[in-house]
Structure 1
């Protein structure tokens, strides 16, 4: 079942230690837009089905990315898109949103998501993989 919009943002706000829900929402929109560009097919559809509708639509109509970005470039892109963010704060933003996504997705779907992403994203989702 999809997480409610408020519940999703409450998790992001708490994890990102944002002062306002608006800040959490801004980060969530950008990061889900970037993430959506990296996922395809059934995996993206399954994740969208578990997200609040507004965020599902962002995931399904993503910002365009010519190629899958390695984690460090993903962080840089997030910093560029999030108003007022710097590269070091983008790490915080990305992990607040993606760890919430990981909880929402569950382990099986997260495993499939990580297979579509370059190496190193497990850390951004807060789920380090044993090497």
Structure 2
């Protein structure tokens, strides 16, 4: 999937007003996801992402995994994006479900197993209720 296709899908799923907003959200969520996944998980994920977005994830390829709870995961995303009118879970869903589209079923299952409990439904294409 190209950068443009990825960001267009995030823009649609997140109902963002511009490609730039989708890019900011994508980089924020991917940076936190990479911190959560740590060295091996971040490197595997970076290999499946478009080049510009993969760079955000690759920055964590040398770091240890941080076992983030849902609240901390959301707090960090919100910290990257600033105050938003929607919850960070909406932003996380838009990006993580798009990431899932680029993964094989086995890779999607492995990512689901690594996500904090409470965020696994964010891999689904429909936004959280």
Does the aligned pair in 2 maintain the 1:26–1:82 contact within 8 Å?
A: yes
Question: What residue is the counterpart of 2:94 in the other structure?
Answer: 96
Question: What residue is the counterpart of 1:48 in the other structure?
Answer: 46
Q: Residue deviations 1:27-74, cap 9 Å, x none?
A: 000100000011134443232111011111111114x78831112221
Question: What residue is the counterpart of 1:77 in the other structure?
Answer: 76
Cα gap change, 1:118 to 1:89, in 2 (>3 Å): closer
Scaled by the length of structure 1, the TM-score of the pair is: 0.81
- State how many pairs are aligned: 123
Cα gap change, 1:61 to 1:13, in 2 (>3 Å): same
Report the 3-state secondary structure (helix = DSSP H, G, I; strand = E; otherwise coil) of the residue aligned with 1:39.
Answer: helix
Question: What residue is the counterpart of 1:67 in the other structure?
Answer: 66
Whether 1:23 aligns to 2:18 is no
Report the 3-state secondary structure (helix = DSSP H, G, I; strand = E; otherwise coil) of the residue aligned with 2:82.
Answer: coil
Does the aligned pair in 1 maintain the 2:112–2:123 contact within 8 Å?
A: no
Cα gap change, 1:41 to 1:81, in 2 (>3 Å): closer
Matches of 2:2 and 2:83 in 1, distance apart?
Answer: 27
Structure 2 gap ranges (5+): none
Report the 3-state secondary structure (helix = DSSP H, G, I; strand = E; otherwise coil) of the residue aligned with 2:102.
Answer: helix
Over the residues paired in the alignment, what is the CA RMSD in angstroms? 2.2
Scaled by the length of structure 2, the TM-score of the pair is: 0.82
